[in-house]
Structure 1
């Protein structure tokens, strides 16, 4: 929190906690000097916030008795959308850094809602449950906002990235867009040094430094499609390619997003491409697709398909014995 406006709002939040606060205490909590605190107090007064200054040994600043922020005039639908949006974003890992930010924002909104509506929202939050676990991967606020700003303005950034095994590397990135997928934020863009597009998880980016270099985003960039293709084709132990007699819509209904890249071909065929660590589960995916197919690579996948057929046949026959 470095901007004066943010600190003025932080001052108001402290004073709303009640009691008289000395200039020294406020200066310490806001990380400014006492003269700056007095200037922030004047900003609040100029906004018609009734801040009282008590002089003397035990003096300080406080809000006038009975002052409350005016109610936030939201309809039931609007209030539900705001509060549940905050809670859902926190649960899915899309809120940067700390869940305390969601708790604080929710408490502030709740405090200024009319009593009837606030009580109904309390009932919902007290009884609502989630089947999905909380995502552990949350990007840092500064990283998320810095990359978003660079993508919007078309400016390159220097990033420090930490891989899954803890190795750090530095890259110059031309960020095209941010995409949220499965509880994580990703950035897709060009890496000029590598001469290729790259995709990074934002929770693995440790530092972001803006550069003066500008760039143009290629035409017809679909951030979601680029991310899903990048996830599906990331290098792994086995590269799989299968020709399937089906239309693209059927494949996209049957294949989870980000699992495989779907390439339309002339006629009623598509090429399914994916990278996997183990081949054993791929025949189950092909069976679920439920369309004729031809394995292009690897040859070892053919035996795994035959092995699945044998296991299914033996199990089915066992039931009829």
Structure 2
């Protein structure tokens, strides 16, 4: 009976003959199993006609879920990965509840191995911890994005100022533990990005819209983060090709473009632009490139690079 349920959970309509063949029983036994499932309030529906058979009714309730050992462990490790989330939120409490349920039904041999992992592993405090969003907000935004429906949102910006906005949602993206919504803001008629954890309410509005063709939320988000306004505008020429330099500098902190080589230099060069609130972290990054570079501006970055060089030289000489 459980094997029948697992087949039906795969979706679609299954004929009695197909189910009988997969289970290795006769068709009468299949019908008896279906009766047992319906007696347990599992919503198995009978489909009449030439291509009829049985299927699970969608949306009634989540039927018992059957996982292999590897699937159960993978789900459990995924839940444990969000250990840094705020445990007071509804989604975090749901994750804790799901974790407890899964651990109760794991075979003893897997439970022992998992306990060994949890006893030996240590979680570092991420520089940018996972930010929990409410499931209802995220799911409603996803539904509106999929159906191309406008939404009204209550939003609080990074300065704590609340506002009400109408947005045409183009896409959702998760970056570094934070969810972002990208869409056209009707207040400014501009393409904007909104932190989903700062959205406190979502209302789906009537009507539909047409999103831009080929819009890629993740690519747009990375580009926007790299070009956001900051205190310092840094420009650096680096010797190398795009293919060589791009992997060394994340797209979230730098934009890179090919440029003409200096006179009498046949080697390729690229221009790196970085926007930063502070300059102190950039000299170690430049040193890590292990490539010739020229700082175009600001001049204060040259001073920071010299200071790093002096510290490294002093360390190499054994000086304090």
Please report the TM-score for the alignment, with normalisation by the length of structure 1.
0.66
In the TM superposition, what is the alpha-carbon distance from 1:265 to its structure 2 partner? 4.9
C-alpha distance in 1, partners of 2:210/2:88? 29
Counterpart of 2:302 in structure 1 is 302
1:192-240 CA deviation, whole Å, 9 max, x = no partner?
A: 4434322222111122222235333333433322222222222221122
Name the SS of the counterpart of 2:150 in structure 1.
strand
Report SS of the residue matched to 2:168: strand
1:169 Cα deviation from its structure 2 partner: 2.6
Go from structure 1 to structure 2 and tell me whether the alpha carbon gap of 1:261 and 1:160 turns closer, same or farther (over 3 Å shift). Answer: farther
Q: Counterpart of 1:184? A: 178
Alignment of 1:246-257 (within 5 A): 246-256=240-250
Q: Is the 8 A contact 1:94 1:183 kept in 2?
A: no
Structure 2 counterpart SS, 1:214:
coil
Structure 2 unaligned segments of length 5 or more: list them: 1-35, 42-62, 262-267
Q: Give the count of matched residue pairs.
A: 256
Q: Deviations over 1:257-276 (max 9, x none)?
A: 52223345577443322221
Q: Are 2:274 and 1:283 aligned? A: no
Task: Name structure 1 gaps, 5 residues minimum.
Answer: 1-44, 51-69
Structure 1 partner of 2:272: 272
Output the CA distance in 2 between the equivalents of 1:315 and 1:272.
Answer: 29
- Alignment pair present for 1:49 and 2:48: no
- Written as runs of structure 1 = structure 2, the 5 A alignment for 1:234-249 is 234-249=228-243
**In 1, distance between residues paired with 2:200 and 2:221?**
20
Secondary structure (helix, strand or coil) at the match of 2:230 reads coil
Deviation of 1:139 after TM superposition, in Å, equals: 0.9
Is contact 1:245–1:293 with CA below 8 Å preserved after alignment? yes
1:256 deviation in Å? 3.8
**Displacement after TM superposition at 1:101 (Å):** 0.5
CA distance in 2, matches of 1:225, 1:96: 29
2:146 maps to what in 1? Answer: 152
Counterpart Cα distance in 2 of 1:181 and 1:95: 22
Equivalent runs, 1:46-195 vs 2, <5 Å = 47-49=38-40, 73-91=66-84, 97-113=90-106, 115-116=107-108, 119-120=111-112, 123-124=115-116, 126-127=118-119, 129-133=121-125, 135=129, 137-195=131-189
Task: For 1:266 and 1:92, locate their aligned partners in 2 and report how far apart those are by CA, in whole Å.
Answer: 47
CA contact (8 A) 2:155 2:162 kept: yes
Q: What's the TM-score, normalizing by structure 2?
A: 0.67
Partner of 2:53: none
How far the C-alpha of 1:72 sits from its partner, in A, is 5.3
RMSD: 3.4
8 Å Cα contact 1:151/1:176 also seen in 2 = yes
Distance in 2 (CA, whole Å) between partners of 1:163 and 1:214 is 26
Taking structure 1 as reference, are residues 119 and 258 closer, same or farther at Cα in structure 2, changes over 3 Å only? same
Q: Does 1:198 align with 2:197?
A: no
Q: Distance in 1 between matches of 2:88 and 2:240?
A: 39
Structure 1, 226-235 or 297-306: larger mean CA deviation: 297-306
**In 1: Cα distance, 2:260 partner to 2:83 partner:** 44
SS in 1 for 2:206: strand
Equivalent residue for 1:41?
none
8 Å Cα contact 1:180/1:186 also seen in 2:
yes
